[in-house]
Amino acid sequence: MTLAPNDALRLSNAPAVYPAFFNAVFAGMPAEQAHHVGFSMIKATEKSGVSAGLRAALRPKADLATTVMGLNFPSPFGLAAGFDKQGIGTAALADLGFGHIEVGTITGQAQPGNPEPRLFRLVEDEGLINRMGFNNDGAEAVAPRLATTRRRLTRRYGRTRPVLGVNIGKTKVVELDDAVEDYVVSTRLLARHADYLVVNVSSPNTPGLRQLQQIESLAPLLETVQYHADRSTGRRVPLAVKIAPDLADDDVSAVAAMAQELGLAGVIATNTTISREGLVTDIETVESFGAGGVSGKPVRQRSLEVLDLLRAELDTDTAVISVGGVTDGADVIERLRRGADLVQGYTAFLYQGPFWAGRINRDLHRNLRAWK
């Protein structure tokens, strides 16, 4: 099976097509099952010959390229961590037009995550609640997949390939006192395969993890990860930290000051929120889903506020990667104009479908003067 670039382009220019497909195929499935089915369909494009047509149609225009953290990104818009947790379909996702793919969160040890069900749609809010719990095969299993992905992307794209980010977190069974060593395990195995590395201390679904956002814990953790990343690769690995939207403004400022003091490459803002404030979905339904982090449009406003705080505190040498409630090209442009160096999305991908990044890239191309 093949898909001509012009056919792929026509499909990507018809945003009404996917909602009908979603309602017919995915809406009746549990959210996590729908994710696995959809991801399997994306991965199948590599074997079917469809991906070549997608790649030609959705590849970002050359004028979208930007340099951030010393890396060349073909587009400022990328896919946030959480979609490809295990590095099992990264190259297929890259063919959809993302300027970077952030794989993970990956932990030092393999773990199943929290019991199912653990992913829930908030359709009226265009959001999700998840308590996945860093389900993944562990750093040792994921490392060779990332090595293969890098080679595959380089063969396909050459020097203009999408950037590969790797997001690492704490293994659930590891005590907080031993968390640094757990992150070091992942760092030693994964840093060599990462264009940039992210320390995730902001998921609400691993008990105690957010305590590591406290500066007295966070600074030595980041220093140690940076040391081992550089030592294991023989190069300076761009390192970023991902923070929660639930941090108080003063704590965001403290993270910014620490990032500059340590010479971090960037700050990713923000992760999911534990807040249920302002949701349109009825309260009984929300309560029936239980604990977990909210993503998508409900996080948008706080994500923008944290972006503004960070950009005011950080110099231009420290990148701000904005994520949370990004839906369309206008959202991406707004964040770039407010000082974000890169923008990521995830939740809207589930609602908008496989041509989402391609449409955003076209909006960025048409409105270059609005953000460059």
Beta strand ranges found along 70-219 (DSSP E): 71-73, 77-79, 100-107, 119-122, 127-130, 163-169, 196-200
* Residue appearing with tokens 């060779």: 144
Residues 236, 278 contacting (CB under 8 angstroms): no
SS3 58: helix
Instruction: Tokens for 297, please give them.
Output: 């449009």
Binding residues: 81-85, 105, 130-134, 167, 200, 205, 242, 270-272, 296, 325, 346-347
Q: Can the peptide bond before residue 117 be classed as cis, meaning omega within 30 degrees of 0?
A: yes
Distance CA 117, CA 130 (A): 9
Binding residues for substrate: 85, 130-134, 200, 205, 271-272
Pairing of strands 239-243, 100-107: unpaired
Q: Which of 186, 201, 214, 205 is nearest to 242 (CA)?
A: 201
Distance CA 34, CA 25 (A): 8
Choice among 203, 295, 303, 322 that is catalytic: 203
Beta bridge partners of 273: 294
Residues 298, 278 contacting (CB under 8 angstroms): yes
Instruction: Tokens for 117, please give them.
Output: 């069900």
DSSP codes joined into one string, 290-315:
-S-EEEEGGGHHHHHHHHHHHHHHS-
* Rg value, the chain, Cα: 19
Binding residues for FMN: 81-85, 105, 167, 200, 242, 270, 296, 325, 346-347
Is 322 one of the annotated active-site residues of the chain?
no
Locate all alpha helices (DSSP H) within 249-299, ordered by sequence.
249-262, 283-289
Positions marked active-site: 203
